Structure 1
Amino acid sequence: MAEPKKQEKDFTSEVDVIIPETESLVKSGKLQDAVDKLYALEKQTRNASDLKSTTRLLNTICSLCYEARDYELLNSSINILSKKHGQLKAAIQSMVDQAMGWLEEIKSRDGIEKWLQMVETLRSVTDGKLFLETPRARVTLLLAHYHEALFKAPTPAAPSPKESLITASDLLSDLQVETYSSMERREKTEIILEQMRFLIAVARQKDSEVDADKKESLSGGDAEWVKVRVGGRKVNEEFLKEKDNEVRSRYDLKLKYYDLMIQHALHQSSYLDVAKYYYKVWETPSIKEDVAGKGRAALEHIVYYVVLAPHDNEQSDMLHRLFNDPALVKLELQYNLVKCFTTSELMRWPGIESIYGPFLRTTSVFSSDKRWEDLHTRVIEHNIRVVAKYYTRITLPRLTSLLDLTRQQTEETLCRLVVSGTIWARIDRPTGVVNFRATRSAEDVMNDWSSDMQKLLGLVEKSWMGMNAAQAAQTRVKAS
């Protein structure tokens, strides 16, 4: 594309004369003659850098072809005019915008075949041109939605549903909209979320075709799940907090983003991340105000997933903050469940199963056997932490009785918690004893004794100073 140069001549009067003449030619059935006549003047206006006249001529050529329903000539004209030597960028932009405005009417009036031809023409014209990156993204999004429609309602002439879905995802994934300077931030975010949505759909489709026992690294839809995580990092969460993005009648960017991230986290069984995403949803004013509907559902999901998450400092902190939240008190069952996990007391699984099981198993979260087993695991881990807090040594038979497990299950759970660093424990198999306190060296004992003595002497000194101050005060009172 040639560098812009100063306008050498104004062809406005010539354009005003030629446009009515060409319109008359078209009415008499001489479309090609009219287009050729406009081409001749377009060359002069382009070489003279007359932007206004060139833009009018380009739009007129396309309009005459469109009104005559000659789509073959229309598509070829758009291609030819956009590739002319020294063609003005603003003129091409105007022509492309005009053609995109016709897409919906072409689709409804002239059929999908003509629409596809126009879409491919626009994609070809906009390919590799930075000043046309936004129109290219928009027309590509339309084409991706068309292929998605073929996936949902396949036709005999169309490829297989899976191929249609993959094609739609690949089309959108090729767009690096986060680098587009000419596109508004909201539109960028919408397209990124669409990329993530298509990737998740493809990933689920591929995962359903792979045998779980034979699944290898990055097999099935694993590559797509990785791309979803990358796409999620392109979205600025602070931007989603803006009021226009939190509450919108047709489209809610914030809720859609966190819904996609929840799907990704659930696939990875990252329960703590799921709880965080639901917490972000619950913080949304429109959701939080809906106490009996979406707000209640979001808060319930926060509770379920935070108790399902493996214990660590972050999970414990979130669990205790949630327990102290006044909103949780209104949910009696969920409040009591969180209270069980924040209290240093044993939770017997048969009791938990009988009290909470009938309700929890009816929820969408715990209807899955895997998550119900994960809850059982979290109860066992909580009980082991409580035992480790109150016991220095305990026999394996007694520990298995407290945990309501077999000896093998008890040892496996203990080993997992020791490896993760949650507790310190050693199993003496010959004697059948579990030690929850490490053997201390003489140096450790002396260091603790020295520390305790320093604290004791500090208290003595503080008491002595307090007594002296009291005696001095009494002396002054007596002297007066």
Structure 2
Amino acid sequence: MWREGPARPGGVFPFFSHAAVLFASSALLQACFEARQWKLLNEHVILISKRRAQLKQAVAATVKEAIGYIDSTPDEDTKIELIKTLTSVTEGKIYLELERARLTRKLAAILEARGKIDEAAEALQEVAVETFGAMAKTEKIAFILEQVRLCLKKKDFIRAFILVKKVTPRAFSEKRLVSDGKQDGEKKEMAMDGTTAAPPDEGIPSLEELKLVYYEHLIAYYTHTNDALEICRCYQNIYDTPSIKGDTSKWTEVLKKVCWYVVLAPSGPMQSSILHMVHGDENLAKLPLYERLLRIFVKNDIVQWTDVQDQFGVEMMEQDSIFLGKVAENRDTFKLRVVDHNILVISNYYSQITLPRLADILKIDVEEAEKYLSDLVLKKTVKAKINRPQGIINFGAKPKPEEVLSQWSGNIGKLLELLEKSCHKIHKEAQQHKVLVPSMRQ
């Protein structure tokens, strides 16, 4: 098992084989565990890891064996102490990065259960799993989404958005698989370095489930920032998930939210594209009320807010997650979008209109009509100019000098061409009838 080394001032040093070192470390931890000496177990874990010229295999085996004892601890404080000991031992060791991440997640779960949300979030943020090569993609995504969840829970929305952007929608595509080298063997997930990744920890959801969690976190963030268009896009991605589309009760609720949020979003190229895309969805025909809702904004027809409220008021009350509670202002936003739609329709049919006439068409006060129109002009949704002393609105942008000059030049060219054709026909008629016109006389 051992042999004598060279004589040194301190005496004779034994040289153990690799197997002997591993066996001795395991036996020592096993003895401490059976004796229920948890403090001594922590001390020996640290001692083994800090021993001079210690083998990596011995440290890794010690940590993995100690991890197996975590669930057998007598109380939560002992469990936390053991987890903290193991995280300190694994710190800075690349070959133990996977174990460190899993230990940190267990510690964060305990801290969260005790109500220490800030400490749990801080503990998780210390681990940058996106750089871990041996960890499976599903486990990486699950870890990052757990970081995001805790940040949202403690209302740290900026950090939550930074963390959630570490995961791209492309990450939820199929896993990269690599053969295990055996004939007809099962293919396993490929790690960043091209080797086989470690299997995910127990309880890690599938990629499709993680995708749904990912978009739920994004929805929570965009609800805080009141970005209806981005919320709509998130629900669109949820709607396109196979597990959602395959269940009628699920896709119905998601499609309803897509319809409401695309209507609540400000007018723009992307909003218009999504609006027409959703309106053309074959499943929308199974929801007649929502088909009528989108038809209002797809067509270039003026609608009255009172009529819209009578048609969709009951449905708005049922969508409590959109129109009640903290997001009750969405009811006012819906009215604003109806007025905006009407102003856009009017701008397509009128080049000039008076403010009283605009207010009469919209069925609102003159002051409100001016306010809504001004907001659209500031957002550059509509190009218009208001002459307040005369109460006249001119739709359309003021042409640039180059455009005016180009138009004038084109008009002059057309005029000269018309004069030339007219003169040619006059001379032709004069020659046929042998009539002298003043310009033909000598």
**Considering the TM-score relative to the shorter chain, is it more than 0.5?**
yes
Check the 8 A contact 1:397/1:407 in 2, yes or no: yes
Structure 1 residue 450: Cα displacement: 8.3
Structure 1 residue 44: Cα displacement: 2.6
CA distance in 1, matches of 2:128, 2:138: 15
Q: How does 1:125-136 map to 2 (within 5 A)?
A: 125-136=89-100
Structure 1 residue 387: Cα displacement: 0.6
CA distance in 1, matches of 2:28, 2:219: 50
Structure 2 residue 336 is matched with structure 1 residue 374: no
Q: 1:86 to 1:235 in 2, by over 3 A?
A: same
Q: Name the structure 1 match of 2:67.
A: 100
CA distance in 2, matches of 1:347, 1:193: 43
Q: Name the structure 2 match of 1:446.
A: 408
- The amino acid that maps onto 1:128 is G
Q: What do residues 327-370 of structure 1 show as CA deviations (whole Å, max 9, x unaligned)? A: 11111111110010010011211111111112112212122421
Q: Name the structure 2 match of 1:57.
A: 24
Structure 2 residue 202 is matched with structure 1 residue 233: no
| Partner secondary structure for residue 426 of structure 1 | strand
Q: Name the structure 2 match of 1:357.
A: 313
Q: How does 1:43-82 map to 2 (within 5 A)?
A: 44-45=15-16, 50-82=17-49
Gaps of 5+ in 1: 1-10, 15-39, 152-163, 204-223, 457-480
Check the 8 A contact 1:200/1:228 in 2, yes or no: yes
Q: 1:64 to 1:250 in 2, by over 3 A?
A: farther
Gaps of 5+ in 2: 5-10, 176-188, 190-199, 419-442
CA distance in 2, matches of 1:168, 1:371: 34
Structure 2 residue 125 is matched with structure 1 residue 173: yes
User: Which residue among 69, 82, 91 is the counterpart of 2:58?
Assistant: 91
Q: Name the structure 2 match of 1:207.
A: none
| Partner secondary structure for residue 393 of structure 2 | strand
Q: Name the structure 1 match of 2:375.
A: 416
CA distance in 2, matches of 1:119, 1:62: 15
Q: Name the structure 2 match of 1:460.
A: none
Q: Name the structure 2 match of 1:280.
A: 237
Q: What do residues 171-229 of structure 1 show as CA deviations (whole Å, max 9, x unaligned)? A: 111111101112121111110000000000000xxxxxxxxxxxxxxxxxxxx211111
Q: How does 1:429-440 map to 2 (within 5 A)?
A: 429-438=388-397, 440=399
Q: 1:433 to 1:131 in 2, by over 3 A?
A: same
- The amino acid that maps onto 2:217 is L
CA distance in 1, matches of 2:362, 2:122: 51
CA distance in 1, matches of 2:235, 2:392: 42
Percent identity of the aligned residues?
31
Structure 1 residue 261: Cα displacement: 0.9
Structure 2 residue 242 is matched with structure 1 residue 271: no
Q: Name the structure 1 match of 2:84.
A: 120
Check the 8 A contact 2:322/2:328 in 1, yes or no: no
Q: 1:318 to 1:100 in 2, by over 3 A?
A: same
- The amino acid that maps onto 1:182 is A
Q: Name the structure 2 match of 1:242.
A: 174
- The amino acid that maps onto 1:148 is E
Structure 1 residue 130: Cα displacement: 2.2
Q: 1:42 to 1:88 in 2, by over 3 A?
A: farther
Q: What do residues 262-286 of structure 1 show as CA deviations (whole Å, max 9, x unaligned)? A: 1111111111111111111111111
Structure 1 residue 43: Cα displacement: 6.0
Q: What do residues 432-478 of structure 1 show as CA deviations (whole Å, max 9, x unaligned)? A: 1111134556425336658999xx9xxxxxxxxxxxxxxxxxxxxxx
CA distance in 2, matches of 1:134, 1:241: 23
Q: Name the structure 2 match of 1:461.
A: none
Structure 2 residue 360 is matched with structure 1 residue 398: no
CA distance in 1, matches of 2:66, 2:41: 9
Q: What TM-score do you get using the length of structure 2 for normalisation?
A: 0.80
Q: Name the structure 1 match of 2:112.
A: 148
Q: Name the structure 2 match of 1:187.
A: 139
* Cα-Cα RMSD: 2.7
Structure 1 residue 141: Cα displacement: 0.6
Q: 1:13 to 1:406 in 2, by over 3 A?
A: farther
Q: 1:12 to 1:278 in 2, by over 3 A?
A: farther
CA distance in 2, matches of 1:249, 1:133: 22
Q: 1:189 to 1:325 in 2, by over 3 A?
A: same
Check the 8 A contact 1:42/1:57 in 2, yes or no: no
Q: 1:191 to 1:447 in 2, by over 3 A?
A: farther
| Partner secondary structure for residue 353 of structure 2 | strand
Structure 1 residue 52: Cα displacement: 2.6
- The amino acid that maps onto 1:420 is K
